[in-house]
Amino acid sequence: MTTTTIAGHTDQIHTVAPPPVPRAPLRAKRLVPVDCGGLGPVSIRPPLDEYLHMTWQRRHFIWADARARTLSESRRFLLGTVWLVLRPVLDASVYLVIFGLLLHSNRGIENFLGYLVVGVFLFRFTTGAINAGSKSITSGKAMLRSFMFPRIALPVAEVTRQVLRFMPTLVAMLVLILLMPPGAKLSWRWLLLPAIVVLQVMLIAGLTLLTSRFLANVHDLTQLVSLFNRFWMYGSGVMYSFERFTSNETVLAIVELNPMYQVLDMSRDCLLYAQTPSLWSWAILVAWAVVSLLAGMVYFWRGEESYGAS
Protein backbone atom coordinates (compact mmCIF):
# COMPACT_ATOMS: atom_id res chain seq x y z
CA MET A 1 0.00 0.00 0.00
CA THR A 2 1.28 3.51 -0.88
CA THR A 3 0.06 6.97 0.32
CA THR A 4 -0.31 9.92 -2.13
CA THR A 5 -1.08 13.58 -1.06
CA ILE A 6 -2.61 15.87 -3.71
CA ALA A 7 -3.92 19.44 -2.84
CA GLY A 8 -4.45 18.66 0.82
CA HIS A 9 -6.19 15.41 0.15
CA THR A 10 -4.60 12.21 1.08
CA ASP A 11 -5.44 9.15 -0.90
CA GLN A 12 -4.33 5.67 -0.21
CA ILE A 13 -3.65 3.47 -3.18
CA HIS A 14 -3.50 -0.20 -2.73
CA THR A 15 -1.00 -1.98 -4.99
CA VAL A 16 -0.88 -5.66 -5.46
CA ALA A 17 2.52 -7.39 -5.87
CA PRO A 18 2.83 -9.20 -9.16
CA PRO A 19 2.55 -12.92 -8.93
CA PRO A 20 5.87 -14.77 -8.83
CA VAL A 21 7.20 -15.85 -12.17
CA PRO A 22 7.12 -19.60 -12.34
CA ARG A 23 10.58 -21.16 -12.73
CA ALA A 24 11.32 -23.44 -15.57
CA PRO A 25 11.53 -27.02 -14.43
CA LEU A 26 15.07 -28.33 -13.95
CA ARG A 27 16.17 -30.60 -16.70
CA ALA A 28 18.57 -33.42 -16.09
CA LYS A 29 22.00 -32.90 -17.68
CA ARG A 30 22.59 -35.08 -20.64
CA LEU A 31 25.55 -37.42 -20.14
CA VAL A 32 28.02 -37.46 -22.98
CA PRO A 33 29.55 -40.87 -23.58
CA VAL A 34 33.37 -40.96 -23.55
CA ASP A 35 35.38 -43.54 -25.39
CA CYS A 36 37.92 -45.01 -22.93
CA GLY A 37 39.16 -47.62 -25.31
CA GLY A 38 42.53 -45.91 -25.74
CA LEU A 39 43.26 -45.65 -22.02
CA GLY A 40 45.37 -48.12 -20.15
CA PRO A 41 47.61 -48.48 -17.12
CA VAL A 42 50.58 -46.12 -16.82
CA SER A 43 52.96 -49.05 -16.57
CA ILE A 44 52.70 -52.14 -18.76
CA ARG A 45 55.19 -54.81 -19.76
CA PRO A 46 55.36 -55.28 -23.52
CA PRO A 47 57.31 -58.14 -25.10
CA LEU A 48 61.07 -57.82 -24.62
CA ASP A 49 61.88 -57.06 -28.26
CA GLU A 50 59.21 -54.34 -28.39
CA TYR A 51 60.40 -53.02 -25.04
CA LEU A 52 63.96 -52.62 -26.28
CA HIS A 53 62.69 -51.02 -29.50
CA MET A 54 60.68 -48.48 -27.48
CA THR A 55 63.77 -47.71 -25.44
CA TRP A 56 65.86 -47.21 -28.58
CA GLN A 57 63.24 -44.77 -29.90
CA ARG A 58 63.80 -42.65 -26.80
CA ARG A 59 67.59 -42.59 -27.14
CA HIS A 60 67.57 -38.85 -27.95
CA PHE A 61 65.64 -38.10 -24.75
CA ILE A 62 68.04 -40.27 -22.72
CA TRP A 63 71.05 -38.45 -24.17
CA ALA A 64 69.53 -34.98 -23.74
CA ASP A 65 68.49 -35.70 -20.15
CA ALA A 66 71.92 -37.06 -19.20
CA ARG A 67 73.74 -34.17 -20.85
CA ALA A 68 71.48 -31.49 -19.33
CA ARG A 69 71.82 -32.89 -15.80
CA THR A 70 75.59 -33.15 -16.17
CA LEU A 71 75.88 -29.50 -17.21
CA SER A 72 73.49 -28.41 -14.47
CA GLU A 73 75.49 -30.26 -11.84
CA SER A 74 78.77 -28.72 -13.03
CA ARG A 75 77.32 -25.21 -12.82
CA ARG A 76 75.77 -25.77 -9.39
CA PHE A 77 79.07 -26.47 -7.66
CA LEU A 78 81.80 -23.86 -7.26
CA LEU A 79 84.60 -26.04 -8.59
CA GLY A 80 82.40 -27.67 -11.23
CA THR A 81 84.21 -30.27 -13.30
CA VAL A 82 87.42 -29.73 -11.33
CA TRP A 83 85.89 -31.51 -8.35
CA LEU A 84 85.27 -34.62 -10.47
CA VAL A 85 89.04 -34.87 -10.91
CA LEU A 86 90.04 -33.58 -7.49
CA ARG A 87 88.04 -36.15 -5.51
CA PRO A 88 89.78 -39.29 -6.87
CA VAL A 89 93.14 -37.52 -6.61
CA LEU A 90 92.50 -36.92 -2.90
CA ASP A 91 91.40 -40.52 -2.47
CA ALA A 92 94.56 -41.74 -4.18
CA SER A 93 96.63 -39.51 -1.88
CA VAL A 94 95.03 -41.04 1.21
CA TYR A 95 95.61 -44.58 -0.07
CA LEU A 96 99.20 -43.67 -0.92
CA VAL A 97 99.90 -42.62 2.66
CA ILE A 98 98.17 -45.63 4.24
CA PHE A 99 99.07 -48.46 1.88
CA GLY A 100 102.25 -47.09 0.35
CA LEU A 101 104.05 -45.36 3.21
CA LEU A 102 102.61 -47.06 6.30
CA LEU A 103 101.81 -50.62 5.15
CA HIS A 104 104.49 -50.72 2.42
CA SER A 105 102.12 -52.33 -0.06
CA ASN A 106 104.12 -50.74 -2.85
CA ARG A 107 106.91 -53.27 -2.55
CA GLY A 108 107.33 -55.26 -5.72
CA ILE A 109 105.01 -52.96 -7.72
CA GLU A 110 106.62 -51.01 -10.52
CA ASN A 111 105.36 -47.42 -10.80
CA PHE A 112 103.20 -47.64 -7.69
CA LEU A 113 101.88 -44.08 -8.11
CA GLY A 114 100.49 -44.87 -11.55
CA TYR A 115 99.25 -48.24 -10.28
CA LEU A 116 97.30 -46.49 -7.53
CA VAL A 117 95.90 -43.73 -9.74
CA VAL A 118 94.56 -46.17 -12.35
CA GLY A 119 92.98 -48.32 -9.66
CA VAL A 120 91.31 -45.49 -7.76
CA PHE A 121 90.04 -43.58 -10.82
CA LEU A 122 88.56 -46.58 -12.63
CA PHE A 123 87.09 -48.26 -9.56
CA ARG A 124 85.54 -45.04 -8.29
CA PHE A 125 83.84 -44.58 -11.66
CA THR A 126 82.34 -48.07 -11.42
CA THR A 127 80.95 -47.81 -7.90
CA GLY A 128 79.80 -44.21 -8.36
CA ALA A 129 77.84 -45.08 -11.49
CA ILE A 130 76.24 -48.16 -9.89
CA ASN A 131 75.28 -46.25 -6.73
CA ALA A 132 73.69 -43.41 -8.69
CA GLY A 133 71.97 -45.65 -11.24
CA SER A 134 70.56 -48.04 -8.66
CA LYS A 135 68.59 -45.15 -7.08
CA SER A 136 67.12 -43.89 -10.36
CA ILE A 137 63.83 -45.78 -9.94
CA THR A 138 63.21 -44.77 -6.32
CA SER A 139 64.06 -41.11 -7.04
CA GLY A 140 61.85 -40.98 -10.15
CA LYS A 141 58.59 -42.18 -8.56
CA ALA A 142 56.67 -39.03 -9.56
CA MET A 143 57.57 -39.44 -13.22
CA LEU A 144 56.83 -43.16 -13.13
CA ARG A 145 53.32 -42.56 -11.84
CA SER A 146 52.55 -39.85 -14.39
CA PHE A 147 53.91 -40.99 -17.74
CA MET A 148 54.01 -44.15 -19.75
CA PHE A 149 57.51 -44.96 -21.03
CA PRO A 150 60.02 -47.82 -20.71
CA ARG A 151 61.24 -47.61 -17.13
CA ILE A 152 64.66 -48.80 -18.19
CA ALA A 153 65.22 -45.32 -19.62
CA LEU A 154 65.84 -43.94 -16.11
CA PRO A 155 68.80 -46.15 -15.11
CA VAL A 156 70.20 -46.01 -18.65
CA ALA A 157 70.07 -42.20 -18.57
CA GLU A 158 71.83 -42.18 -15.20
CA VAL A 159 74.60 -44.48 -16.45
CA THR A 160 74.98 -42.24 -19.50
CA ARG A 161 75.31 -39.23 -17.22
CA GLN A 162 77.99 -40.96 -15.18
CA VAL A 163 79.92 -41.78 -18.37
CA LEU A 164 79.81 -38.11 -19.40
CA ARG A 165 81.06 -37.10 -15.96
CA PHE A 166 83.88 -39.63 -16.23
CA MET A 167 85.31 -38.34 -19.51
CA PRO A 168 87.27 -35.39 -18.03
CA THR A 169 88.34 -37.65 -15.16
CA LEU A 170 89.70 -40.21 -17.62
CA VAL A 171 91.69 -37.53 -19.44
CA ALA A 172 93.08 -36.30 -16.11
CA MET A 173 94.06 -39.86 -15.18
CA LEU A 174 96.05 -40.25 -18.39
CA VAL A 175 97.79 -36.91 -17.86
CA LEU A 176 98.67 -37.80 -14.27
CA ILE A 177 100.26 -41.15 -15.05
CA LEU A 178 102.33 -39.47 -17.76
CA LEU A 179 103.58 -36.67 -15.50
CA MET A 180 104.08 -38.51 -12.21
CA PRO A 181 107.48 -40.18 -11.81
CA PRO A 182 108.64 -42.55 -13.11
CA GLY A 183 106.07 -41.89 -15.85
CA ALA A 184 103.94 -44.24 -17.90
CA LYS A 185 105.24 -46.08 -20.94
CA LEU A 186 103.64 -44.82 -24.13
CA SER A 187 102.84 -47.54 -26.64
CA TRP A 188 100.23 -48.59 -29.16
CA ARG A 189 98.54 -50.56 -26.37
CA TRP A 190 97.02 -47.32 -25.12
CA LEU A 191 94.62 -47.76 -28.03
CA LEU A 192 93.17 -50.81 -26.26
CA LEU A 193 91.92 -48.70 -23.35
CA PRO A 194 88.65 -47.59 -25.07
CA ALA A 195 87.69 -51.25 -25.59
CA ILE A 196 88.32 -51.96 -21.89
CA VAL A 197 86.25 -48.94 -20.87
CA VAL A 198 83.37 -50.00 -23.15
CA LEU A 199 83.31 -53.44 -21.51
CA GLN A 200 83.47 -51.74 -18.12
CA VAL A 201 80.44 -49.59 -19.01
CA MET A 202 78.52 -52.69 -20.14
CA LEU A 203 79.31 -54.30 -16.78
CA ILE A 204 78.18 -51.16 -14.96
CA ALA A 205 74.92 -50.99 -16.93
CA GLY A 206 74.08 -54.63 -16.21
CA LEU A 207 74.78 -54.34 -12.47
CA THR A 208 72.86 -51.05 -12.33
CA LEU A 209 69.76 -52.67 -13.82
CA LEU A 210 69.98 -55.51 -11.32
CA THR A 211 70.45 -53.29 -8.27
CA SER A 212 67.86 -50.71 -9.37
CA ARG A 213 65.15 -53.36 -9.34
CA PHE A 214 66.36 -54.63 -5.97
CA LEU A 215 66.17 -51.15 -4.45
CA ALA A 216 62.81 -50.41 -6.10
CA ASN A 217 61.26 -53.26 -4.12
CA VAL A 218 63.31 -53.12 -0.89
CA HIS A 219 64.77 -49.67 -0.16
CA ASP A 220 66.84 -50.92 2.79
CA LEU A 221 69.14 -52.78 0.40
CA THR A 222 70.96 -49.48 -0.22
CA GLN A 223 73.17 -50.23 2.76
CA LEU A 224 74.00 -53.67 1.36
CA VAL A 225 75.03 -52.13 -1.98
CA SER A 226 77.48 -49.82 -0.19
CA LEU A 227 78.84 -52.74 1.83
CA PHE A 228 79.27 -54.82 -1.31
CA ASN A 229 81.13 -52.00 -3.06
CA ARG A 230 83.55 -51.73 -0.15
CA PHE A 231 84.18 -55.46 -0.17
CA TRP A 232 84.54 -55.36 -3.95
CA MET A 233 87.19 -52.64 -3.69
CA TYR A 234 89.41 -54.70 -1.39
CA GLY A 235 88.89 -57.76 -3.60
CA SER A 236 89.90 -55.97 -6.79
CA GLY A 237 93.47 -54.97 -5.93
CA VAL A 238 92.85 -51.22 -6.11
CA MET A 239 95.64 -50.31 -3.66
CA TYR A 240 97.86 -53.40 -3.66
CA SER A 241 98.83 -56.52 -5.57
CA PHE A 242 97.50 -59.87 -4.39
CA GLU A 243 100.78 -61.56 -5.35
CA ARG A 244 102.36 -59.49 -2.57
CA PHE A 245 100.32 -61.32 0.11
CA THR A 246 99.63 -64.80 -1.22
CA SER A 247 101.06 -67.37 -3.59
CA ASN A 248 98.10 -69.74 -3.36
CA GLU A 249 97.12 -70.51 -6.95
CA THR A 250 93.50 -71.24 -6.03
CA VAL A 251 93.06 -67.87 -4.32
CA LEU A 252 94.71 -66.05 -7.22
CA ALA A 253 92.51 -67.92 -9.72
CA ILE A 254 89.38 -66.82 -7.83
CA VAL A 255 90.63 -63.24 -7.76
CA GLU A 256 91.17 -63.32 -11.52
CA LEU A 257 87.48 -64.12 -12.03
CA ASN A 258 86.60 -60.75 -10.50
CA PRO A 259 85.64 -58.50 -13.46
CA MET A 260 86.91 -55.31 -11.82
CA TYR A 261 90.23 -56.96 -11.09
CA GLN A 262 90.48 -57.65 -14.82
CA VAL A 263 89.51 -54.06 -15.71
CA LEU A 264 92.24 -52.67 -13.47
CA ASP A 265 94.87 -55.27 -14.35
CA MET A 266 94.31 -54.95 -18.12
CA SER A 267 94.31 -51.14 -17.96
CA ARG A 268 97.56 -51.12 -15.98
CA ASP A 269 99.19 -53.49 -18.44
CA CYS A 270 98.24 -51.25 -21.37
CA LEU A 271 98.98 -47.87 -19.77
CA LEU A 272 101.86 -48.48 -17.37
CA TYR A 273 103.78 -51.54 -18.50
CA ALA A 274 103.30 -51.64 -22.29
CA GLN A 275 101.98 -55.19 -22.14
CA THR A 276 99.14 -56.71 -24.12
CA PRO A 277 96.42 -58.28 -21.90
CA SER A 278 96.10 -62.03 -22.32
CA LEU A 279 93.25 -63.64 -24.23
CA TRP A 280 92.09 -65.22 -20.97
CA SER A 281 91.70 -61.77 -19.40
CA TRP A 282 89.73 -60.54 -22.41
CA ALA A 283 87.51 -63.63 -22.29
CA ILE A 284 86.71 -63.14 -18.59
CA LEU A 285 85.87 -59.46 -18.98
CA VAL A 286 83.80 -59.95 -22.15
CA ALA A 287 81.83 -62.78 -20.52
CA TRP A 288 81.07 -60.69 -17.44
CA ALA A 289 80.08 -57.64 -19.51
CA VAL A 290 77.74 -59.52 -21.87
CA VAL A 291 76.15 -61.80 -19.27
CA SER A 292 75.58 -59.03 -16.72
CA LEU A 293 74.06 -56.72 -19.34
CA LEU A 294 71.70 -59.36 -20.72
CA ALA A 295 70.72 -60.61 -17.27
CA GLY A 296 70.17 -57.05 -16.07
CA MET A 297 67.92 -56.17 -19.00
CA VAL A 298 65.77 -59.28 -18.66
CA TYR A 299 65.51 -59.03 -14.87
CA PHE A 300 64.63 -55.33 -15.00
CA TRP A 301 62.08 -55.88 -17.79
CA ARG A 302 60.29 -58.58 -15.79
CA GLY A 303 59.60 -56.06 -13.02
CA GLU A 304 58.37 -53.32 -15.37
CA GLU A 305 54.80 -53.22 -14.02
CA SER A 306 55.90 -52.90 -10.39
CA TYR A 307 57.95 -49.70 -10.67
CA GLY A 308 56.13 -46.73 -9.18
CA ALA A 309 53.34 -48.88 -7.76
CA SER A 310 54.39 -48.38 -4.15
Paired sense of beta strands 9-13 and 2-6, if any: antiparallel
User: Is residue 9 within a helix (H) or strand (E), and if so which, with residue range?
Assistant: strand 9-13
List Cα–Cα distances, 132 to 23, 154, 195, 244, in angstroms. Answer: 67, 11, 23, 33
* Interatomic CA distance for residues 178 and 184, integer angstroms: 5
pLDDT in tens, 73-117: 666 555 556 666 667 777 777 767 766 666 666 677 888 888 988
pLDDT band at 61 (very low <50, low <70, confident <90, very high): confident
pLDDT band at 227 (very low <50, low <70, confident <90, very high): confident
The 8 Å CB, 24+ separation contacts for 286-290 are 286/199, 288/199, 288/203, 288/259, 288/262, 289/199, 289/200, 289/202, 289/203, 289/206, 289/259, 290/202
Residues whose CB falls within 8 Å of the CB of residue 131, separated by 6 or more in sequence, listed in order = 225, 226, 229
Taking the complete model, does pTM exceed 0.85, yes or no?
no
CA angle 36, 151, 56 (to 5 degrees): 100
Of 71-75, 203-207, 210-214, where does the model show the most confidence? 203-207
Residues whose CB falls within 8 Å of the CB of residue 166, separated by 6 or more in sequence, listed in order = 84, 125, 129
pLDDT recorded at residue 1: 53
Closest CA to 203 of 123, 113, 105, 95: 123
pLDDT in tens, 238-285: 888 888 777 788 888 899 999 999 999 999 999 999 999 999 999 999
* Interatomic CA distance for residues 228 and 305, integer angstroms: 28
Closest CA to 208 of 103, 296, 137: 296
pLDDT recorded at residue 36: 47
DSSP string, 73-141: HHHHSSSTHHHHHHHHHHHHHHHIIIIIIIS-TTTT-TTHHHHHHHHHHHHHHHHHHHHHHHTHHHHTH
Residues whose CB falls within 8 Å of the CB of residue 134, separated by 6 or more in sequence, listed in order = 155, 208, 211, 212, 214, 215, 222, 225
Closest CA to 209 of 68, 141, 307: 307
pLDDT band at 20 (very low <50, low <70, confident <90, very high): low
**4 in helix, strand or coil?**
strand
In the chain, how long is the greatest CA-to-CA distance? 136
pLDDT band at 168 (very low <50, low <70, confident <90, very high): confident
